[in-house]
């Protein structure tokens, strides 16, 4: 099968203490996460001497919408609805930059894009906190702490416009993405002993392969 490129995020920040506001403001644009991410995609998508490109995995770990909200000047007041809404607009622009880069490189149709988060909204840090229609918030075991949005795009494989309220966990992402890359038995391989590079793993991997479900080719029992 054609090589799949998985897109999610890449942590790039190294922070030395002590720091102050002036030091943080002096960080060059080249070192901001979104710019480093775009440079990574450019480099990863370069073809070799035979015109072939290798698959890559990218985890874009944005600081928006994480407390505390320090907006760039161009984002100040753009929504007229406060700092949190302005931050969301800034974050939306960052996601748009990444999607545009995939279009420019001509790899959109062969890239899986996942947009989600690792916990529910944090309400008590107003005005930096968000709101949810569920009970409670981050750091609790109620729905507000665990139920998060998730959007997955893979043209010609995952039907567009499909909406589901079924339960899926981020732990399911590894076996699902591995299956999309052609390894649909990664859990069994790891359990029986699987060598990756110079290391052999004998471990249990939590999670389930949801690829048949997402591509409407089957259902989980």
Q: How far apart are CA 81 and CA 177, in angstroms?
A: 38
Residue 188 pLDDT greater than 90, yes or no: yes
Report pTM.
0.79
Residue 22 pLDDT greater than 60, yes or no: no
Where are the domains positioned within the chain?
Answer: 5-156, 169-221
pLDDT digits (tens, 9 = 90+) for 147-180: 998 999 999 999 999 898 888 999 999 999 999 9
Residue 208 pLDDT greater than 50, yes or no: yes
Q: How far apart are CA 5 and CA 8, in angstroms?
A: 10
Tokens (6 digits) for 125: 């840090």
Three-class secondary structure of residue 23 per DSSP: helix
* pLDDT higher at 9 or 132: 132
Burial class (CB in 10 A: 0-12, 13-18, 19+), 16: exposed
Q: How many residues does the chain have?
A: 221
CA angle 119, 77, 14 (to 5 degrees): 50
Architecture of domain 5-156 in CATH?
A: 3-Layer(aba) Sandwich (3.40)
Residue-wise DSSP of 34-89: HHHHHHHHHHHT---TTS-----EEE----TTSSS----GGGTTSSSS-HHHHHHH
Q: How far apart are CA 196 and CA 169, in angstroms?
A: 25
């Amino acid at each position: 099968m054609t090589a799949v490129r998985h897109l999610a995020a890449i942590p790039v920040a190294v922070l030395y203490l002590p720091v102050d506001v002036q030091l943080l403001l002096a960080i060059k644009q080249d070192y901001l996460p979104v710019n480093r991410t775009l440079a990574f995609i450019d480099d990863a998508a370069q073809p070799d001497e035979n015109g072939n490109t290798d698959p890559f995995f990218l985890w874009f770990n944005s600081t928006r919408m994480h407390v505390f909200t320090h907006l760039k000047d161009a984002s100040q007041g753009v929504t007229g609805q406060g700092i949190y809404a302005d931050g969301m607009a800034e974050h939306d622009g960052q996601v748009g930059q990444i999607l545009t880069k995939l279009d420019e490189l001509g790899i959109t149709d062969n890239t899986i894009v996942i947009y989600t988060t690792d916990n529910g909204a944090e309400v008590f840090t107003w005005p930096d906190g968000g709101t949810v229609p569920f009970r409670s918030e981050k750091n609790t075991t109620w729905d507000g702490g665990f139920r998060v949005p998730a959007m997955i795009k893979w043209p010609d494989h995952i039907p567009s416009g499909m909406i589901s309220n079924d339960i899926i966990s981020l732990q399911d992402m590894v076996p699902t993405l591995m299956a999309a890359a052609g390894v649909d038995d990664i859990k069994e391989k790891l359990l029986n002993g699987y060598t990756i590079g110079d290391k052999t793993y004998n471990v249990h991997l939590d999670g389930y392969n949801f690829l048949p479900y997402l591509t409407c080719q089957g259902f989980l029992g």
